[in-house]
Amino acid sequence: MRDAVRLVLDVSEREHGERLDRLISARITGVSRSFAQSLMKSGDVLVNDQPAKPAYRVRTGDRIVVLLPPAEPPTELEPVYLPIPVLYEDEDIIVFDKPPGLVTHPAPGHEQDTLVNALKAIRPDLQLRPSDRPGIVHRLDKDTSGLIVVAKHEAARLSLLKQWQGRSVIKRYVALVHGVVEPDEGTIEAPIGRDPRDRKRMAVVPGGRPAVTHFRVIERFRSATLVELELVTGRTHQIRVHMAFIGHPVVGDDVYGRRPFVVPVPRQFLHATYLRFTLPSTGKPIELETPLPRDLKDVLDALRAREGVAA
C-alpha cells in the first residue's frame, strides 16, 4: 500500500486571519474546501501539532501539516453516449456544438459524462495522448456552450495546437453582460493570473499572463448589453474575468459577477459562436459558426419584452 503524502505549510503575514480550510484549498492544487474539511475530520490536518477545525483562523507563523491520501492510479476512460451535435468532421478533426452543463474532459468531481467520454463512445478507435484528454486542444467552461474542436490523431492535434498557441485562430463569443457598455467597440488588455485571495479563481493581477479581448456591442438594453467578443489570447476564464474587470460581468456568472438580474437566467450567458482556423491536412481555412442556443434566446426574448433597448 502506498504511503500518504505529507505536506507542510507555513502561514505568511499576508495569510494571517484566513480560514484554515480556505488556505489549504488555495495552497494545495486539486484540494477543494470540502475535501480539506474532510481531511480535518479524519485527523489528517494538524496546526502546530494539534488537530484544528475548518473555521480556525490561521496566524502568522503557524505550521500546518496536511496528510493527503495517495493518488489513485488513472482509470480507463469510460465511453458514454451523449447527444452532442457534430457540426463538421473529416479525417483529421471533429467539431462539436457543446451544450451547456457539459465538462470538456474528466476532472475531480466530473470523472464521466464529459465531452471526451462521448468522443470515446462514438470514435473508440482513436488512440491519442494524453489518454484522459484525447485530441483536446482547447476547452470551454462547463456552462459555456458552442464550438469546440477535437483532433482525431496526433499529427492533427499538434497542427491545431500550433495554431492555437500561435494565436492564428479567430475565436468569437457572444455574451450578455450587466450594464450599458460604452463605447460601441474596444479592447481590454489586462494581465490575468490566479487571484491571490482565492486560488480557485482568476483575476487581473500585476505580473499575470498577457491577455487581450476585443469587444463589439450588438444590442443594448436598459440593464444589460449583448456583445460579441474576440479572444486574441486564451487565458482561463478570460472573457468572464475581463468583463468583470471593466464593471460589466457576464450575466449569470456566479463566480465573477454574482448579481440579480431582471429576468430568469439558466446559466452564464456565454456562447462560443465562431471559429476560423486551418485544416491540418489540406492547409485550407475553415469557418464555422453556430447560433445562440434556445435557452439563451429565451433570455433575450424575455429581456426585450420587459425593457426593450436602451435609448
Active site residues: 141
3-state secondary structure of 26: helix
Rounded CA-CA distance 217/233 in Å is: 20
E strands present in 120-223: 145-151, 170-178, 185-189, 192-195, 198-204, 212-220
What separation in angstroms does the CA of 124 have from each of 75, 77, 110, 127?
A: 16, 10, 20, 8
The DSSP-derived string for 245-300 is HTT-PBTT-TTT-----SS--SS--EEEEEEEEE-TTT--EEEEE-PPPHHHHHHH
> What region does 184 belong to: left with phi over 0, alpha with psi -120 to 50, or beta?
alpha
- Residue whose entry in the numeric block shows the C-alpha cell 468583470: 244
Phi, psi of 119 (to 5 degrees): -60, -40
In the DSSP assignment, the letter for residue 196 is T
3-state secondary structure of 139: coil
Rounded CA-CA distance 121/123 in Å is: 6
H helix intervals, 110-153: 115-122
3-state secondary structure of 121: helix
Amino acid at 148: I
* ω into 130 cis (within 30 of 0): yes
Phi, psi of 157 (to 5 degrees): -60, -45
Q: In whole angstroms, how large is the CA radius of gyration of the chain?
A: 22
Cell of 234: 486564451
